[in-house]
Amino acid sequence: MIVLGIETSCDETAAAIVERQADGSGRVLADIVLSQVADHAAFGGVVPEIAARAHVEALDGVIAAALRAAKLDISDIDAVAATAGPGLIGGVIVGLTTAKAIALAAGKPLIAVNHLEGHALTARLTDGIDFPFLLLLVSGGHSQFLGVEGVSDYRRLGTTIDDALGEAFDKAAKLLGLGYPGGPEIERQAAKGDPSRFSLPRPLLGRAGADFSFSGLKTALRLAAEAIAPLSETDVADLAAAFQRAVTDVVVDRARNAMKAFAAAYSEIAAPALVVAGGVAANQALRSTLTAAAAAQGFRLVAPPIKLCGDNGVVIAWAGAERLALGLADGLDAPARPRWPLDERAPAALGAGAKGMKA
Ligand code: KG4
Ligand code: ZN
């Protein structure tokens, strides 16, 4: 089956076409992403109204470009999927309404996709991994460990009690005078810096469970920066390196507990997968430290290619295809949802044995 996917929940206007075979394998037929980063750069973050207007202007052309790239006509598509949330509501409405119009005009099913499920299921397209798997979802708005037991079937093992990890990167970058989005800027600076010059806290490190907290780290970074202002280039690089090192230490510590809980619930799985997804999954330092931490627990780390970590239409088209394969289409009255947790329908316990969180 062939699915068109539309993504407009933040600052990328994106459309893609993927094909999913009955055996669960898939391939990308088109992948068009138009970034609005330049439109928002002057404001140091995404401005919702500017984003919504830019989606209105660009989306028809982006969808047409995806169809052209795949050499397909809309009649060749089996379903139209769009992000229905969570995200900036203006943009979500643009994408979802466009998808509804296409579905209605072409007589195709509509699939209202949870953006987070798009990130969650990407590793099944790129690496063919089976359920269940452990997911670390780290984006601009979310930082969670989830046991993924199937499509629409998520058990939360841990979440952030304050800022999301991507948000922490963005705020850290802002206070160091770096541009937006902050994650790639911090990563670039950190590569040049000395992570040991400043000692920053590691919130929740060593504690039970798999929750995160990043706001204290952000404050500590601000105080360290203020104490030596004005910052030289070396200061910025060293502070970025210290911040990135503190973050990776915390994520690895939390991941260890999440892996222990997952392994206890699924002791029958010989080589379980830890999948890292979402925009922050593009961070190379995080990927390499997590690879080692996963291996030490008998897990293999699966990270999508960098291109598919950020927001794009492929992850939405693929989640749509996975849902369509299960007969999960939506009505044209599907609502746009600014908030939409992945685990809203699932009970808290993880695994068939319902052993729950042990670590
Ligand atoms: O998934 P995503 O593209 O959008 C959301 O759904 O939120 O994630 C965007 C977030 C931003 O906070 C950005 O700074 C962060 O991902 N990010 C990174 C890197 N690339 C993007 N964070 C750390 N290192 C990176 N290389
Ligand atoms: Zn995202």
pLDDT 10s digits, 311-349: 999 999 999 999 999 999 999 999 999 999 998 865 556
pLDDT category of residue 63 using cuts at 50, 70 and 90: very high
Mean pLDDT of 284-308: 97
Residue among 7, 9, 139 whose CB has most ligand 1 atoms within 8 A, to mutate: 139
- Looking from the CA of residue 181, the nearest atom of ligand 1 is 14
pLDDT digits 0-9 by tens, 166-215: 999 999 999 999 998 999 999 999 999 999 999 999 999 999 999 999 99
pLDDT category of residue 9 using cuts at 50, 70 and 90: very high
Q: How far is the CA of 234 from the centre of ligand 2 (A)?
A: 32
d(CA 321, CA 32): 18
Mean pLDDT, the chain, as a whole number? 94
Q: Any idea which ligand is nearest the CA of 303?
A: 1
d(CA 147, CA 264): 12
3-state secondary structure of 295: helix
pLDDT beyond 90 at 353: no
Decide: 18 and 29 in contact? Cβ < 8 Å. yes
Per-residue b or e along 308-338, where b marks 16 or more CB atoms closer than 10 Å to that residue's CB? bbbbbbbbbbbbbbbbbeeeebbeeebebbe
pLDDT digits 0-9 by tens, 105-150: 999 999 999 999 999 999 999 999 999 999 999 999 999 999 999 9
Q: Considering the chain, what percentage of its residues have pLDDT values greater than 90?
A: 92
What pLDDT does 357 receive? 36
Q: Whose CA is nearest to atom 3 of ligand 1?
A: 310
Decide: 30 and 67 in contact? Cβ < 8 Å. yes
d(CA 315, CA 116): 9
Token pair 């989306």 in the structure block, residue? 59
Mean pLDDT of 80-106: 98
- Looking from the CA of residue 115, the nearest atom of ligand 1 is 6
What pLDDT does 44 receive? 84
pLDDT digits 0-9 by tens, 226-269: 999 999 999 999 999 999 999 999 999 999 999 999 999 999 99
Q: How far is the CA of 188 from the centre of ligand 1 (A)?
A: 14
Decide: 129 and 302 in contact? Cβ < 8 Å. yes
pLDDT beyond 50 at 359: no
Residue among 116, 169, 315, 340 whose CB has most ligand 1 atoms within 8 A, to mutate: 169
pLDDT beyond 50 at 354: no
Token pair 């599907």 in the structure block, residue? 334
- Looking from the CA of residue 282, the nearest atom of ligand 1 is 26
What pLDDT does 41 receive? 86
What pLDDT does 355 receive? 40
Dmax over CA atoms of the chain, in Å, equals 63
**Who surrounds ion ligand 2 at CB < 5 A?**
139, 311
